[in-house]
Structure formats: C-alpha cells, structure tokens
C-alpha cells in the first residue's frame, strides 16, 4: 500500500473531517458491493479502507507521520465481499452443461455485447488528471538570467514557475503534477507553461549571443575612448579604438547567454553607430569649412558610377 494521504487524496495537514469526507467519497465510488462490474474496485477499496483505518486513528496517524510505522501495518486481511456471493451464477443451467461459461466469460460476453453502447460508463476508475496549459509573458532579462515567477490561476491556486537561465521564446515548461487532480486516486495531470518573451528595447538575441547597437560621439569614434555599455549582466567598460566607424563590431566575450546544453556562454556583440552632436557646435562647423582632407574620399563610388 502506498502513502495513505495520497491514497485518499488529502494533504498531510488534512483535518479529521476532511479525511472522513475523502474516504466517504471514495468508498461510495469503489465499494465492490455497489460496483459489481468493476474488477479493480476490490483492490482499490482495500487501499482506501486501509488508508482510512490508519489516518482516522490519531495515535496511528501521529506514529506514521513520525516515521515510526509504515502504511503496511494498516493493511486489511483478505475480505469476502457480498458481491462474491450474490454474483455467483445460480440460474445458469446452460453454462453448467456446456462447461462453457464461468461468470467471468459471461461478463466478457456481456461487455462485448454492450461495448460502445455507453452502458458501462465506469470502465476506468483510476485516471490521471487532465493536463492544463498556460501562457506566461516574461521579460527579456528574466529568460536570459533565469528567474522565478508566481502565477495565480483563475481558481486562486498559485504556481511557482522557475524560468531556466537561457530559456527561449515559446519554450514549454512542464510542471509535473500541477495540472488537474487525478480521479479515483490517480496522479494529477501536468501543467504546461509556454513562455512568451517580451522584446527588449535595445538587446536582441541571436542564439546564445546578444546584439546591441551602441551610439558613440564623433569625438569618441575618431579619437578612441573608454565608454560604459550595458550588458545583460550589468554595465561594463569597453574601449572604443581610435578611428572606429559606424558599423564596427566589438565583441565582449562571455557576456551572452549561457547555453543550456554546453554550459558555455555566448558573447555580446556591439555594433557602433557614430552620431553627430545634437547641439550646435560652431567651432566644429568652422573647422570643417576650413578643412582640406589629405585624401579625397568618395564613400559612394561603388554605388554611383
């Protein structure tokens, strides 16, 4: 016999009244004498009776909770149910003559005759609960770094969802046993949570790498500079080399997303974008007007012939 709490489908903190109600409900469903067609009812009823015998007795329950006794102590001896007698073939002379039909064969014949007719509505007595699925919108950084979120379901139940580091958009998480409760002592179903990752204003993900466009001033680009840039793990200082043009890519090693399989981190790839000053800079204008480049430059020579 398994865990008596599980057998009755109650929590370990269930009150005596809850235990009693749970037992009553299951007993109605599984008492073999009330369900002569159900072959599993006898074993099932024995289990729930034994669980009830153990848990309804405060002292036995205390000792079980303390680990002093196990559930097997409560097992019931073999019991003969009323149906074992009441269901014996008494008026079956043909069966006796032919040596053909014992009770079981007759029942099988009956089952065949009524199969699909909806007459045997209680074929499965122990069933796993239904699976349920939810959609969980999560922030970009939550999936990059991993996070724990609590979702509250419409019926008031809360689910703790651990978002694994490096999870992907539309990834499905399975929460075992968090679906609908099982029927007749069967296990609960699973909850499936689909992650919908919200886009980030400047980080973009490509596989395990993070791409980001970083604006730099004309002066930083031309002369080189140490600048602070954001990464998914917080800001870091990066050296912009002298003479960096728009489109130049800098790589920050291991500042990307940890690969779930290899454990290796991706990189952050920075694309520089040179921006002109926002405010008026008369000196710069004056300099440019007077400036005679040493080399004549035609950046569009490939495009316009």
Partner 1 sequence: MMRFDDLVATISALQRSDLDAWIREEMVVPRQEAGALLFTDMECARVRLICTLHYELEIDVDTLPVVLSLVDKLYDTRQRLLSLTAAVAAQDKSVQAAIIAAIRPDGGLSAAAKS
Paired strand residues for 195 = 136
- Smallest separation (angstroms) from partner 1 to the CB of 27: 6
Parallel, antiparallel or unpaired: strands 268-275 and 249-252:
antiparallel
Nearest CA among 111, 145, 140, 280 for reference residue 212 = 140
Q: Which is nearer to partner 1, 44 or 205 (CB)?
A: 44
Q: Which is nearer to partner 1, 95 or 250 (CB)?
A: 95
Q: Please report whether residue 57 would count as binding partner 1 according to CB under 8 A.
A: no
Binding partner 1 by CB under 8 A: which of 115, 135, 223, 285?
115
Q: Which is nearer to partner 1, 104 or 289 (CB)?
A: 104
Nearest CA among 114, 45, 120 for reference residue 82 = 45
- Smallest separation (angstroms) from partner 1 to the CB of 101: 5
Residue 257 buriedness (CB in 10 A; 0-12 / 13-18 / 19+): buried
Q: Please report whether residue 31 would count as binding partner 1 according to CB under 8 A.
A: yes
Binding partner 1 by CB under 8 A: which of 2, 15, 24, 218?
24
Binding partner 1 by CB under 8 A: which of 6, 14, 18, 36?
36
- Smallest separation (angstroms) from partner 1 to the CB of 21: 10
The two tokens of residue 97 are 């003559």
- Smallest separation (angstroms) from partner 1 to the CB of 80: 5
Query: Residue-wise over 10-19: b if at least 16 C-beta within 10 A, else e?
Result: beeebeeeeb
Binding partner 1 by CB under 8 A: which of 90, 253, 294, 301?
90
* Residues 59-88 within binding reach of partner 1 (CB under 8 A): 79-87
- Smallest separation (angstroms) from partner 1 to the CB of 121: 14
- Give the C-alpha separation, 222 to 214, whole Å: 15
Binding partner 1 by CB under 8 A: which of 66, 113, 303, 304?
113
Q: Please report whether residue 281 would count as binding partner 1 according to CB under 8 A.
A: no
The two tokens of residue 44 are 């099932």
Q: Please report whether residue 301 would count as binding partner 1 according to CB under 8 A.
A: no
DSSP 51-77: HHHHHHSHHHHHHHHTTSS-GGGGPPP
Which residues lie below 8 Å from residue 14, measured CB to CB, with a gap of 6+? Answer: 5, 8, 22, 55
Binding region for partner 1 (CB under 8 A) = 23-24, 27-28, 31, 33-34, 36, 52, 79-87, 89-95, 97-98, 100-101, 103, 105-107, 109-110, 112-117
């Amino acid at each position: 016999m398994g865990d008596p709490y599980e057998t009755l489908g109650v929590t370990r903190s269930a009150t005596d009244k809850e235990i009693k109600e749970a037992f009553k409900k299951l007993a109605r469903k599984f008492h073999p004498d009330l369900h002569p067609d159900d072959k599993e009812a006898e074993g099932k009823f024995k289990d729930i009776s034994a669980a009830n015998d153990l848990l309804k007795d405060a002292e036995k329950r205390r000792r079980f909770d303390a680990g002093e006794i196990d559930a097997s102590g409560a097992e019931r001896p073999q019991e003969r149910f009323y149906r074992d007698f009441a269901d014996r073939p008494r008026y079956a002379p043909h069966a006796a003559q032919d040596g053909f039909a014992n009770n079981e064969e007759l029942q099988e014949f009956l089952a065949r005759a009524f199969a699909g007719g909806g007459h045997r509505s209680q074929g499965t007595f122990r069933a796993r609960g239904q699976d349920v699925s939810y959609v969980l919108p999560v922030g970009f950084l939550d999936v990059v770094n991993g996070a724990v979120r609590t979702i509250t379901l419409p019926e008031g139940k809360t689910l703790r969802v651990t978002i694994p580091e490096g999870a992907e958009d539309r990834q499905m998480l399975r929460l075992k046993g968090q679906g609908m409760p099982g029927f007749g002592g069967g296990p609960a179903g699973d909850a499936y949570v689909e992650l919908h990752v919200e886009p980030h204003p400047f980080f973009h993900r490509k596989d395990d790498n993070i791409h980001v466009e970083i604006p730099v001033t004309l002066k930083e680009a031309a002369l080189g500079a140490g600048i602070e840039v954001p990464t998914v793990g917080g800001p870091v200082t990066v050296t912009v080399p002298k003479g960096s043009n728009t489109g130049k890519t800098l790589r920050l090693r291991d500042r990307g997303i940890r690969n779930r399989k290899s454990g290796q981190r991706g990189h952050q790839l920075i694309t520089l974008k040179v921006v002109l000053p926002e405010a008026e800079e008369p000196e710069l204008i004056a300099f440019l007007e007077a400036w005679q480049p040493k080399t004549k430059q035609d950046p569009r020579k490939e495009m316009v012939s």
